[in-house]
Amino acid sequence: MLTKDKDYFKEKLYESIKGKNVIIASHISPDDDSIGSCISAYFHLKDICNPRIMITGKKNDRWKEFEGFDYVEFVEDIANFKEDADVYLVLDGNSWSRFSYLAKPKKVFCIDHHFAQETDLDLHLYLDYPCCVQIIYELFYEEKSVIPKHICEIMLVGILGDTGNFSYVKKGSSEVLLVAQKLIEQGDIQVQELQSKYSKMGKNVFEELKKIIDNAKIVQLEGWPTFIYTYTESLESDAQEAASAFLFYLRTIEGVDWGFIAKQDEDGTKFSLRTLPSAVNVRLIAENFNGGGHDNAAGMKIPRLKAGEAVDKLIDFLKSASPEKFLRK
């Protein structure tokens, strides 16, 4: 069931989890917003239920400097623990496939900000916000007179991450600026100091980034705005981190309106797509490959293909598709 009623969702969630064993989960390949959402939700809900934070996939230590990250368990698949959990609470993803490769357990609640018209989850709170952390804040923290510094920090990390340091904020979503202001003031946070905890690039990552830049190509297909793409077929964590760092360039090169990066996975290739608001709707592109996300930022996966082959498949799709279906009006 899909809802936009925060009070109804909160009431039903509390009824279902009180005194129960609950698995709080981020989507596969977590980002700042999903980690911030999971950790801040954990600290609130631990007084109501017996929560564990679990994420399907390999461990990423990007957030190791933050209190609460030690509670995050990276596992082969969160669905393997369905016998231990009475309820799953999944955050920052709009379908079960974003969190697990296996069948959905019986009771799954969801909090998310990605576009959704229908859901395969039992109760799914969808709000069109710039980040999931903002929903967590409004559900669990907005009425609290004091929010501990470590919670302010990890929620602000999520906001900064999914808003691109506020560069994606637009009319209708500026409320997130007020949330950030409250967190900065309550947590006595210096933003540059906060970001130094998790945003520095190691030398090995920089070397991998140079390789990814060497693979980059700027493409002009008939009917499509000019785009850039690159890829890595390395499974090493340094290469994966470098690929994420390259996302910055997808919307910052003169004359290039959108682009994507392909990252090799153990059983296929994951794509991150980004666009300027005036170019294409990358969510619609991703949905053709069972992906999704936002109009300006989306993700998808092509199974069983190496990165180079998957890139060719996506470009073949773009060549055969009608650009008008994806161009911004």
User: Mind listing the pLDDT tens digit for each residue in 293-321?
Assistant: 889 999 999 999 999 999 999 999 999 99
User: Mind listing the pLDDT tens digit for each residue in 169-192?
Assistant: 999 999 999 999 999 999 999 999
Fold of 2-195: inorganic pyrophosphatase (n-terminal core) (3.90.1640)
User: Mind listing the pLDDT tens digit for each residue in 245-260?
Assistant: 898 888 889 999 999 9
Residues 6 or more apart in contact with residue 137 via CB below 8 angstroms? 40, 155, 179, 183
Q: How high is the pLDDT of residue 74?
A: 97
Quote the pTM value.
0.85
Q: How high is the pLDDT of residue 293?
A: 86
Q: How high is the pLDDT of residue 315?
A: 97
Q: What percentage of residues in the chain have a pLDDT greater than 90?
A: 83
Fold of 203-325: Diaminopimelate Epimerase; Chain A, domain 1 (3.10.310)
Q: How high is the pLDDT of residue 200?
A: 82
**Mean pLDDT value across residues 202-218:** 94
User: Mind listing the pLDDT tens digit for each residue in 83-128?
Assistant: 999 999 999 999 999 999 999 999 999 999 998 888 999 999 999 9
Q: How high is the pLDDT of residue 214?
A: 95
Average pLDDT, the chain: 94
Q: How high is the pLDDT of residue 199?
A: 85
Residue ranges covered by each domain of the chain = 2-195, 203-325
Res 58 pLDDT > 90: no
User: Mind listing the pLDDT tens digit for each residue in 120-174?
Assistant: 999 999 999 999 999 999 999 999 999 999 999 999 999 999 998 998 899 999 9
Q: How high is the pLDDT of residue 46?
A: 97
